[in-house]
Amino acid sequence: MENSKKVIVLGAGVIGLTAAVKIQEHGGYQVTVLAEVLPTDDKSIRYSSQWAGAHHVLNISEESRQHEMDIDCFGVLWELSKPGSETEENFLRLTQTEYYAKEATLPPLDRMPDHKVIPKELLPPGVLSGASFSSLTMDTPKYLQYLASRLTAAGGKIIRATVQHLNQVVEGGESAFSAEKNPPSPPDAVLVCTGIGSRFLGGVEDKTVYPIRGQTVLVRAPWIKFGRSTAEADGRWTYVIPRRNGDIIIGGTQGVDDWYPYPRPESTRDILERVFAMCPELAPPEIREKRTPTLDDVIPLIIEEGCGLRPARKDGVRLEVEWLQANETGKKVPIVFNYGHGGYGFMSSWGSANIALKLLEDAIGGAK
Ligand SMILES: Cc1cc2nc3c(=O)[nH]c(=O)nc-3n(C[C@H](O)[C@H](O)[C@H](O)COP(=O)(O)OP(=O)(O)OC[C@H]3O[C@@H](n4cnc5c(N)ncnc54)[C@H](O)[C@@H]3O)c2cc1C
Ligand SMILES: *[C@@H]1O[C@H](CO)[C@@H](O)[C@H](O)[C@H]1NC(C)=O
Ligand SMILES: *[C@@H]1O[C@H](CO)[C@@H](O)[C@H](O)[C@H]1NC(C)=O
């Protein structure tokens, strides 16, 4: 412990927590997470991770670096979701079906287990390509708390703090933000995992970070045990993401640069209509046995409407190191950036954490 290097991780979303766990468990590091919003807080527009579905589905139009992180992460999540394991309760393993209203080139989906291209004659009307494969979903509020407790169990710390400027952390470390009035404790390295906050955090202020607002509806439908999405012809995405506990996230919307913090009633209606058309199984089975269901059969299942901001970045995830010099001590501190995960934070979390750890090790010469 004495010789371990002090690492501050800014941000307690899925990205900060996963990176913090990765680094703390690696050994040789003492990790403290500083964050304004924590997993145990009520859902907030200032914290994207609480709003995610979250499924693991590769976006076939994304760049290959993103796919590598996602595939890397899938390996870790698949292991954590293993039947009979202590961690499986955070996940639901399922068969995922992806439909495309346009002709689509389906690889890289063939990298997923049990991948099958759906023959044209079996595709629903209006769908031109489709594939199915095995994947998983995460119960995001539960999984975030799991990450936080895994971090503290490994000896890491989490402190609530609103950081105004990177320099405050480089000079003062966690002491500047802890309740006890301790002298400065400059860290050996800082990770910036501040999601949308990276646009505003002093010393980062990355104006290429922008929100892609996503509205969803949470419904109670424990009979749904499969995942399904459609890439509509107009670019919208319609999806059904069941969780292990029987709640289902349905969506969605993709509002580029849309900061509106409340669910819009017209979007909720639109989501319900699109999802019901794609997935009439949403209506309770006892109704479907008796008669043809309508949208009205789904309305009573609604638990909550919500919206969150996907932290997108013009050039994709920022994963790189910059050095900052503390003025008081002259100490040079590497800053590892890990933000801008857009709509893929959960499915790339372990992949980007591996890269962040590598950057950290290269920067400070390996702590062990
Ligand atoms: C509707 C919806 C559906 C989604 N579905 C999926 C999905 O199916 N699969 C998937 O992989 N992803 C999905 N996502 C995307 C996923 O939610 C995000 O990529 C992910 O949550 C980003 O995590 P993050 O840790 O970068 O940001 P956040 O979760 O926002 O965390 C940022 C952290 O930084 C802290 N912070 C920021 N600024 C400061 C500051 N100045 N001082 C102190 N702390 C600060 C915040 O308080 C917070 O703790 C979805 C998102 C939405 C909205
Ligand atoms: C998939 O990626 C493309 C290109 O980056 C983007 O336009 C589209 O919105 C993405 N789809 C989803 C569901 O995120
Ligand atoms: C050090 O001081 C200079 C000038 O006052 C400032 O620009 C710089 O950001 C400071 N660095 C830190 C780490 O505080």
What ligand 1 atom has the least distance to the C-alpha of 348?
11
Interhelix angle 14-26/140-153, rounded to 10 degrees, is 30
Does residue 61's CB lie within 6 angstroms of at least one atom of ligand 2? yes
Q: Which residues belong to the annotated binding site?
A: 163, 194, 239, 310, 343
CA 124 to chain centre: 30
Q: What is the mean pLDDT of residues 324-346?
A: 96
- Whether the per-residue pLDDT at 2 is higher than 80: the answer is no
Does residue 64's CB lie within 6 angstroms of at least one atom of ligand 2? no
Does residue 15's CB lie within 6 angstroms of at least one atom of ligand 1? yes
Query: Is the alpha carbon torsion for 242, 68, 15, 271 positive or negative?
Result: negative
* Burial (Cβ within 10 Å: 0-12, 13-18, ≥19) of residue 171: buried
Ligand 3 centroid, distance to 327 Cα (angstroms): 6
pLDDT digits (tens, 9 = 90+) for 128-146: 999 999 999 999 999 999 9
Residue of the CA atom closest to atom 3 of ligand 2: 61
Q: Identify the pLDDT of residue 93.
A: 98
Query: Is the alpha carbon torsion for 81, 49, 211, 353 positive or negative?
Result: negative
pTM for the complete prediction?
0.97
Ligand 1 centroid, distance to 268 Cα (angstroms): 22
Q: How confident is the model at residue 367 (pLDDT cuts 50, 70, 90)?
A: very low
Under a CB-based contact definition with an 8 Å cutoff, are residues 140 and 96 in contact? no
Q: Identify the pLDDT of residue 142.
A: 97
Does residue 185's CB lie within 6 angstroms of at least one atom of ligand 3? no
Of the residues 56, 62, 234, 241, which should be mutated to test ligand 2's pocket, given the most ligand atoms within 8 Å of the CB?
Answer: 62
- In this structure, how many other beta carbons lie within 10 angstroms of the beta carbon of residue 60? 17
Say how far apart CA 287 and CA 48 lie, in whole Å: 36
Under a CB-based contact definition with an 8 Å cutoff, are residues 228 and 279 in contact? yes
Does residue 326's CB lie within 6 angstroms of at least one atom of ligand 3? yes
Ligand 3 centroid, distance to 172 Cα (angstroms): 13
Q: How confident is the model at residue 332 (pLDDT cuts 50, 70, 90)?
A: very high
Ligand 1 centroid, distance to 48 Cα (angstroms): 3
Query: Is the alpha carbon torsion for 80, 82, 86, 89 positive or negative?
Result: positive
Under a CB-based contact definition with an 8 Å cutoff, are residues 341 and 321 in contact? no
Q: Identify the pLDDT of residue 1.
A: 56
Q: Which residues belong to the annotated binding site for FAD?
A: 163, 194
Does residue 49's CB lie within 6 angstroms of at least one atom of ligand 1? yes
- In this structure, how many other beta carbons lie within 10 angstroms of the beta carbon of residue 269? 12
Q: Identify the pLDDT of residue 106.
A: 84
Does residue 329's CB lie within 6 angstroms of at least one atom of ligand 3? no
Which position has the token pair 């590091």? 29
What ligand 3 atom has the least distance to the C-alpha of 165?
14
Of the residues 8, 18, 36, which should be mutated to test ligand 1's pocket, given the most ligand atoms within 8 Å of the CB?
Answer: 36
User: How high is the mean pLDDT of the chain?
Assistant: 96
Q: How confident is the model at residue 366 (pLDDT cuts 50, 70, 90)?
A: low
**Amino acid in position 74:** F
pLDDT digits (tens, 9 = 90+) for 170-208: 999 999 998 887 899 999 999 999 999 999 999 999 999
Identify each DSSP E strand in the chain by its residue range.
5-10, 29-35, 91-100, 116-117, 129-138, 157-160, 189-192, 209-220, 227-231, 237-242, 247-251, 255-256, 302-313, 318-325, 332-339
Does residue 3's CB lie within 6 angstroms of at least one atom of ligand 2? no
Please report the domains of the chain, with CATH numbers, ordered by start residue.
5-365 (3.40.50.720)
Ligand 2 centroid, distance to 184 Cα (angstroms): 44
